[in-house]
Structure 1
Amino acid sequence: MDRIYRHQRHIYDASRKFYLLGRDGLIEGLEPPPGAAILEIGCGTGRNLVKIARRYPGCDCYGLDVSAEMLATARASVSRAGLADRIRLAQADATGFDPQVLFGRPGFDRIVISYALSMIPPWQPVVTEALRRLNAGGSLHVVDFGDQAGLPGAFKSLLSRWLALFHVTPREDLPAVMRQLSQVAGAGCRVATPYRGYAVHAVAEMPRG
């Protein structure tokens, strides 16, 4: 991942803002309780975390990423935004991490995964791990590429070729897997496919204790 993003990280946000649809809608839908702890898995450049921290000033924000290069960019972004006291970052593998070791806390009230599952080969364990790290009453919010079922076939083919250049693979079974893994974890799950299937927006909610 460091090899891929060593240079891309400098233009990542500018080059992705036109086709990573649904990120801001996901942030608006978090609706965390006061004092909530919010984690982004695969936080990349820190773009989403900065927006989350500004949108929910009463919450503590955390981010993890496996790429040291991306985290360097994220730390710079957080510092420029004046949010270093509210956003903590750590390097970790999303398929297995210890929030107590990384951040000194056992779990989170909201976890966000935004366009990261399509970049992680063992992506299903990431969802399992995220569900495991939710507090009672917490929720996991996922947005990523969908199956583009409602869009012309030529568009889907072109998009797939474009994404492959960046080692991105849409997970067409994401809705089914989210429902299945949520059920195993004892969570409810709702899934939407906005933009005619361009994206998937899934929310898994753990029951309150």
Structure 2
Amino acid sequence: MNDAAHAMDRMYRRQRHLYDASRKFYLLGRDQTIAELAVPAGGSVLEIGCGTGRNLVRIAQTYPGAACHGLDVSAAMLDTAARSVARAGLDGRISLARGDATAFDPTALFGQDAYDRILISYALSMIPPWERVLAEAVGHLAPEGQLHVVDFGGQAGLPRPARALLNRWLAAFSVTPRATLPQVVADAAARTGAEACVRQRFGGYCVQAVIVRRTGSGVPAGGGGPPVPDHRPIA
């Protein structure tokens, strides 16, 4: 694995034990996003940046017929996720693998080339080449598949002191809100002939977005995403 993987392992070697307890108060919108996945009967779900496995366990419990897969670059986090999955008795329903979210082969990792639902929950704000992650995810959607994203937004509707305090807190955990996330989602959908829906929530505290890959859209299922243009924050 690359330097980013080693950095993540160093960061989470200790944090992983307190991650879920400390994050539940400010990673807003995760459970609503899971509820809105509406996984079809017998469908497949991939979470990119699955971390401790918290979301995957909830997904597997919410959608009992779904095959659930989780990808993360951190071996430390995957160890914690495996323990969480085992405690929930979901070993047979949830598969985990280590991989780089900017370029991965789900067939090699999980034996599946495309997914009905892909989830990225508060991971893009921690990955420097986050636009490449988004494009890669779109490329692994099955026809009529959906990519669901929830992450920190530009906070335009929050008071200035609240924004400053929040961003100082997030910076301590190497988290960078993606102010251009709505536009990047819209562009990723447009380039692939998909449809996008973006919602700014809680004064822009977080963004919830969905990309739907319609049958006959421009990117073959499992083919990876197209090149991504450079987006710079809007002043």
Fold-level match, TM-score > 0.5? yes
In 1, Cα distance between the equivalents of 2:112 and 2:168?
41
**Residue 121 of structure 1 is aligned with which of 101, 116, 128?**
128
**Residue 159 of structure 2 is aligned with which of 130, 152, 160?**
152
Identity of aligned residues (%): 60
Alpha-carbon RMSD: 0.6
Unaligned runs of 5+ in 1: none
Unaligned runs of 5+ in 2: 1-7, 217-235
Q: Quote how far apart the aligned CAs of 1:186 are.
A: 1.5
In 2, Cα distance between the equivalents of 1:3 and 1:182?
34
Other-structure match for 2:23? 16
1:197 alignment partner, SS class: coil
Other-structure match for 1:194? 201
Return the letter of the residue paired with 1:15: S
In 1, Cα distance between the equivalents of 2:108 and 2:128?
25
Runs (4+) of structure 1 moved beyond 4 Å? none
Return the letter of the residue paired with 1:127: L
Other-structure match for 2:53? 46
In 1, Cα distance between the equivalents of 2:194 and 2:164?
34
Q: Quote how far apart the aligned CAs of 1:27 are.
A: 0.3
Aligned residue-pair number: 209
Other-structure match for 1:56? 63
In 2, Cα distance between the equivalents of 1:23 and 1:176?
21
Other-structure match for 1:104? 111
In 2, Cα distance between the equivalents of 1:104 and 1:131?
18
In 1, Cα distance between the equivalents of 2:29 and 2:192?
25
**Residue 39 of structure 2 is aligned with which of 32, 36, 39?**
32
TM-score in terms of structure 1 length: 0.99
**Residue 162 of structure 1 is aligned with which of 157, 166, 169?**
169
Alignment pair present for 1:3 and 2:10: yes
Q: Which deviations, in whole Å up to 9, do the C-alpha atoms of 1:7-30 show, x marking residues without a partner?
A: 000000000000000000000000
1:193 alignment partner, SS class: strand
Other-structure match for 1:131? 138
In 1, Cα distance between the equivalents of 2:125 and 2:189?
19
1:196 alignment partner, SS class: coil
In 2, Cα distance between the equivalents of 1:125 and 1:144?
16
Q: Quote how far apart the aligned CAs of 1:208 are.
A: 2.7
Return the letter of the residue paired with 1:48: N
In 1, Cα distance between the equivalents of 2:23 and 2:73?
19
Alignment pair present for 1:183 and 2:190: yes
In 2, Cα distance between the equivalents of 1:129 and 1:158?
33
- Pick the structure with more helix per residue: 1
